[in-house]
Amino acid sequence: MCGIIGYIGGKQAYPILIEGLHKLEYKGYDSAGIAVQGPDSLKIIKTKGKVSHLEEKAGEGFPVGFAGFGHLRWATHGAPSEINAHPQKACSDDFALVHNGIIENYLSLRRWLESEGHRFVSETDTEVIAHLIEHYYRGDLLESVQEAIKKVTGSFALIAGYRDEKDRLVCARKDLPLMIGLGGEENFISSDLAALLPHTRKIHILEDGETALVTASAVKIYNTDCTVLQRKAQEITWDVTSAEKGGYEHFMRKEIMEQPQALRETMRGRLLEGGRKINLAELDFAPEEIEKISKIFIVACGTAYHAGLVGKYLLEKILRIPVEVDVASEFRYRDPLLCADTLVIVISQSGETADTLAALRLARERGQQVLAITNVVGSSVAREADKVFFTWAGPEIAVASTKAYLTQLFSLYLLTFYLAQERGAMEQIELQKAGEALYNLPDQVEEILNREKEIPGIASYLSRWESAFFIGRNLDFAVALEGALKLKEISYIHAEAYAAGELKHGALALIVEGIPVVALAIQETVLEKSLSNIKEIKARGGYVFCFAREGMEALASEVDSIFYLPSTLDDIFLPMLAVIPLQFLAYYTAVARGCPVDNPRNLTKSVTVE
């Protein structure tokens, strides 16, 4: 996610802002910028690339001033570039702001502002807010910010400044973190505690909808009605390292916990009216293009491939279109039978995976239309695909993919139901139910996250073995594959995922007394069959950890431990919940074995070699 830092006080702002940006670098970003309130102008410096480039650009004679703000951008609207970097300005150079988040209605606002005479220079959604502030300015920056944010829908954490009000900064938040650090005769603003803790431990955490007027000596916080609030600052006791990880010991656990928010970003502007309508106009499909799709290929690697396997099941079940899923490195060399009216979907968190990119290029050379599902704006995959669906998970730092996987799944569900909506492949009422289920999913994910403490006991048993099995049928098998990959990559336990019905064709020979078997028995249609497979394992001494749904209590007496998923959702959505305890299982097992969770041996986050 992007990072924000602001300063106002008696010292030169520039070195403090640069130091703050360095503190935010761990989050991942593609461009950087600062604005300093000089004696008679707002001086802005920005660049594509690293903070060190920004420092080189500023040179020795850095901009002088006692207030300012800086930003690290993780591109959403518009590729990484100097012009799209923040701060963004309005028509005059006098208003500027930095912003984290996504403005959903930026296109309509931009059209309206253009009709009012505003001129836009960037591709960003952020620039719209700068122009709105300028538009509503009547001599008071705070009031114009409060007016501007009433007009936007979406998420934001922002700091705004105006040349003629150098003694103040105005900030606001909705759905994204923003906090103010109190430092006596100076104050600090940031989206991230890690950037504030070197200066102060007295922090005001803004709530949704609040705005704040920050001067060197005072902070005034206002609610949505613009009434001043009386609130005491909190005393924060975390150290900087745990602040970077949101108080968690590892990025992986932080990213697991971020999943509800990541899903809310994925659905933003796409699931409308509480889920009753799916809007993927961003993909710019003509109705006849959608109508004539007769075959789909999904191509990806690793975890993204596992997301594709869930996608196959879903697309075939809902659309009744044949879907093939390929590991990208195989797709390329097997001379795939691509034909007219085939849609190729590539999935890649990083958008830079060499095998996936090579597969994408092959498909395009063969004249196929390629739709990319990716998390990184400006990545090679995003640039080269015909259509792009961004997952909006925010930067994922741990090598083991968690929130990226879940948002890939969610994207595939959105895409499937959108295509069903456009092809008339589902009854309206069923479609609405599906949309509502997706809309409510982040809450259900939160409920599963709250049950984290059910997992370390299982992990402790697992951590003492060098080998484990994961079994499941249909969608459960796709999730089992992901669970096993997570476990092996971070705990170094040899974990094999098997289609439950296949065990008896060979691997059953490996079931010995006590060996851990993670059995997913969630899909109701194959419950009887899954139960038979579990019995086969138990009869040979296997130790079975079962993941089932409420209402399947009969399973409890057949297994050694059981975790129930809620029965409120249709089976088809459950992979998005079932994967969460498996992520925790891998995490706690790796921790129990003392493994370097975030950076497992021999692996990198983005595999750019074939």
Q: Does 295 participate in catalysis according to the annotation?
A: no
Q: Does 91 participate in catalysis according to the annotation?
A: no
Q: Would you count residue 124 as binding ligand M6R (CB under 6 A)?
A: no
Q: Which two tokens stand for residue 260?
A: 């509800």
| Catalytic residue, candidates 2, 171, 546, 595 | 2
**β-sheet bridge partners, residue 348:** 374
Q: Would you count residue 606 as binding ligand M6R (CB under 6 A)?
A: yes
Q: Would you count residue 304 as binding ligand M6R (CB under 6 A)?
A: yes
Q: Would you count residue 153 as binding ligand M6R (CB under 6 A)?
A: no
Q: Which two tokens stand for residue 587?
A: 């995490």
In the complex, the smallest distance separating the C-beta of residue 347 from ligand M6R, rounded to whole angstroms, is: 7
Nearest to 486 by CA among 362, 243, 265, 307: 307
Nearest to 573 by CA among 413, 430, 402, 451: 413
Give whichever of 79 and 354 is closer to ligand M6R, judged by the CB atom. Answer: 354
* Cis bond before residue 87 (omega within 30° of 0): yes
> Rounded CA gap, 68 and 297, in Å?
49
- Amino acid present at 327: V
CA 120-123-124 angle, to 5 degrees, is: 95
Q: Which two tokens stand for residue 353?
A: 């995976």
Task: Return all residues near 548 (Cβ < 8 A) that are at least 6 apart.
Answer: 521, 522, 555, 562, 563, 564, 565
Q: Which two tokens stand for residue 421?
A: 């909506």
Q: Which two tokens stand for residue 429?
A: 């009422």
**What HEC string does 267-299 produce?**
HCCCEEHHHCEECCHHHCCCHHHHHHCCEEEEE
Q: Which stretch binds ligand M6R (CB under 6 A): 187-195, 198-206, 302-310, 492-500?
A: 302-310
Q: Which stretch binds ligand M6R (CB under 6 A): 111-119, 179-187, 264-272, 394-402?
A: 394-402
In the complex, the smallest distance separating the C-beta of residue 257 from ligand M6R, rounded to whole angstroms, is: 17
Q: Which stretch binds ligand M6R (CB under 6 A): 284-292, 399-407, 458-466, 547-555?
A: 399-407
In the complex, the smallest distance separating the C-beta of residue 454 from ligand M6R, rounded to whole angstroms, is: 23
Q: How many residues sit close enough to ligand M6R to count as binding (CB under 6 A)?
A: 16
Is the separation of the CB atoms in 31 and 85 below 8 Å? Answer: yes
In the complex, the smallest distance separating the C-beta of residue 147 from ligand M6R, rounded to whole angstroms, is: 41
- Amino acid present at 413: Y
Between β-strands 323-327 and 295-300, what pairing exists: parallel, antiparallel or unpaired? parallel
Quote the DSSP letter at residue 154.
B
Q: Would you count residue 530 as binding ligand M6R (CB under 6 A)?
A: no
Q: Of the candidates 5, 129, 309, 399, which one interacts with ligand M6R according to CB under 6 A?
A: 399
In the complex, the smallest distance separating the C-beta of residue 489 from ligand M6R, rounded to whole angstroms, is: 6
Q: Would you count residue 583 as binding ligand M6R (CB under 6 A)?
A: no
Q: Would you count residue 400 as binding ligand M6R (CB under 6 A)?
A: yes
In the complex, the smallest distance separating the C-beta of residue 396 from ligand M6R, rounded to whole angstroms, is: 9
Give whichever of 349 and 589 is closer to ligand M6R, judged by the CB atom. Answer: 349
Sheet strand arrangement including 467-472: 494-499, 467-472, 516-520, 543-549, 561-565
Q: Would you count residue 252 as binding ligand M6R (CB under 6 A)?
A: no
Q: Would you count residue 301 as binding ligand M6R (CB under 6 A)?
A: yes
In the complex, the smallest distance separating the C-beta of residue 28 from ligand M6R, rounded to whole angstroms, is: 13
Is the separation of the CB atoms in 493 and 487 below 8 Å? Answer: yes
Residue whose beta carbon is closest to ligand M6R: 302
Per-residue contact flags (x/-) with ligand M6R for residues 486 to 505, judged by CB under 6 A: ---x----------------
Nearest to 470 by CA among 481, 478, 486: 481
Between β-strands 219-222 and 211-214, what pairing exists: parallel, antiparallel or unpaired? antiparallel
Give whichever of 19 and 330 is closer to ligand M6R, judged by the CB atom. Answer: 330
Please give the residues from 335 up to 354 whose contact with ligand M6R meets the rule CB under 6 A.
Answer: 348-350, 353
| Catalytic residue, candidates 50, 295, 488, 605 | 605
Give whichever of 369 and 606 is closer to ligand M6R, judged by the CB atom. Answer: 606
Residues designated as active site: 2, 605
- Residues of this chain that bind ligand M6R (CB under 6 A): 301-304, 348-350, 353, 356, 399-401, 485, 489, 606-607
